[in-house]
Amino acid sequence: MKGVPILVTGAHGFLGGYVVEALRARGADTLLVPRRAELDLLDRGAVRAYLARERPAIVVHLAAVVGGIGANRRHPGRFFYDNLVMGVELIEAARLSGVRKVATVGTICAYPKHTPVPFREDDLWSGYPEETNAPYGIAKKALLVMGQAYRQEYGLDAIYLLPVNLYGPRDDFDPATSHVIPALIRKMVEARRAGQDSVEVWGDGSPSREFLHARDAARGIALAVERYDDPEPVNLGTGHEITIRDLAEKIKKITRFEGALRWNPAEPNGQPRRCLDTTRARERFGFEAEIDLDAGLAETVRWWEESSTSS
């Protein structure tokens, strides 16, 4: 990838920072990393003008409007519109400007609510996504169809990656938008510091999730950009699941919070289970996750404790 101009949308976000690092580690030295003020992906004219001017050979599309269950419930319209339109305008502009390859990063929320475990890529169309994040999941899944259609009609090398739930240092710890790991870390660290005797956790703890460190996800994305050129979507994950209850207990131990966990079953559980079949990523471009969940959680907790103390 040396000397190849690569546009990374969302480069200044949580995953984006790791992807930029991973691409550079694999030799990419001509990266375009605009902020929204420089490239508004909802503005058709701005997108087409930027790509026509900068002429990237490869586009890695990470930019997204994301959030946990609460944010998805509050903003289903925005999550659908923004995520769909950003991808549609970018891929069309890429075609018009002669981009060679587009790597779109989708979402595990695209899978049907009751997908058999482990999730295989061929199951993507076997049902409707879990209701609380369906608008987001469907918007992102539409970009898979667009990429495949553009490959068929225009010869665009469009690939599509499905990372499982991400976590790690530099994640979003805002209570209004954060996902489960940063939300629990922040709750428990703040409760410990304040001397509280309990924290509330949404749902009943029974759903399972699979978690992939963002640094591992970024390495997988960089490998796919370099080595993968097929139309089929590819899961990126660890292949291991954990219940939310067990996850909360792990975080409680790592954060040294000694109070009680109060489960609130009135709040949604989300999808019952999430665990991926990661065979395709291993076979097609040699990706396997390396960071153990316990080690990754400890690193993330350390980062948050240091960041929240210094701020």
* Mean pLDDT of the 197-204 span: 95
- What is the structure's pLDDT at 179? 87
Reply yes or no on whether 154 is catalytic: no
- What is the structure's pLDDT at 178? 86
Whether 257 is covered by a domain: the verdict is no
More reliable by pLDDT, 132 or 186: 186
Confidence class for position 187, pLDDT limits 50, 70, 90? very high
CATH of the domain at 283: 3.40.50.720
Whether 69 is covered by a domain: the verdict is yes
Mind listing the pLDDT tens digit for each residue in 208-223? 999 999 999 999 999 9
Domain that holds residue 158: 5-170+210-239+273-291
Query: What pTM, to 2 d.p., does this model score?
Result: 0.94
Mind listing the pLDDT tens digit for each residue in 90-148? 999 999 999 999 999 999 999 999 999 999 999 999 999 999 889 999 999 999 999 99
Domain count across the chain: 1
Whether 189 is covered by a domain: the verdict is no
Whether 27 is covered by a domain: the verdict is yes
- What is the structure's pLDDT at 112? 95
Whether 123 is covered by a domain: the verdict is yes
Mind listing the pLDDT tens digit for each residue in 40-73? 999 999 999 999 999 999 999 999 998 877 888 8
- What is the structure's pLDDT at 20? 98
pLDDT for residue 268 is more than 70:
yes
Q: Which residue among 18, 50, 111, 136 is the active-site one?
A: 136
Q: Are strands 242-243 and 208-209 parallel, antiparallel or unpaired?
A: antiparallel
pLDDT for residue 35 is more than 80:
yes
Whether 278 is covered by a domain: the verdict is yes
Whether 116 is covered by a domain: the verdict is yes
- What is the structure's pLDDT at 311? 56
- What is the structure's pLDDT at 69? 78
- What is the structure's pLDDT at 11? 98
